[in-house]
Amino acid sequence: KAGVTQTPRYLIKTRGQQVTLSCSPISGHRSVSWYQQTPGQGLQFLFEYFSETQRNKGNFPGRFSGRQFSNSRSEMNVSTLELGDSALYLCASSLEALRPYEQYFGPGTRLTVT
């Protein structure tokens, strides 16, 4: 079974631009969570989607948004990019609908904002 895939793997953007990152979960997994990892703040939870609905949200500004499609693929969008948005963005998928549940992480998208 293929693992979680994320595209693109690397991205360079300029301040003020917007960016869309994509995550394809493991086949059959209906939950997708997104995380941001920076050297200063470490790993932080962004949001979680289950069956196309946002089930949980972290403490990030409204510039960070996401969605999930009927095939469970998910995208996250960051608008009006700031230098501080440079980070590794990870998504993770899980099978179970009930919590707690095991998560499987993708390789991440490394975003650099210049």
Partner 1 sequence: KNEVEQSPQNLTAQEGEFITINCSYSVGISALHWLQQHPGGGIVSLFMLSSGKKKHGRLIATINIQEKHSSLHITASHPRDSAVYICAVREEGNEKLTFGTGTRLTIIP
Give the nearer residue to partner 1 in terms of CB position, either 12 or 16. 12
Distances (CA, A) of 97 to 23, 41, 71, 87, 94: 19, 29, 16, 29, 8
What count of Cα atoms within 13 Å lies in the side-chain half-sphere of residue 55?
14
Site for partner 1 in 22-41 (CB under 8 A): 33, 35, 37
Minimal distance, residue 16 CB to partner 1, in Å: 26
Asked if 97 interacts with partner 1 (CB under 8 A), we say no
Asked if 104 interacts with partner 1 (CB under 8 A), we say yes
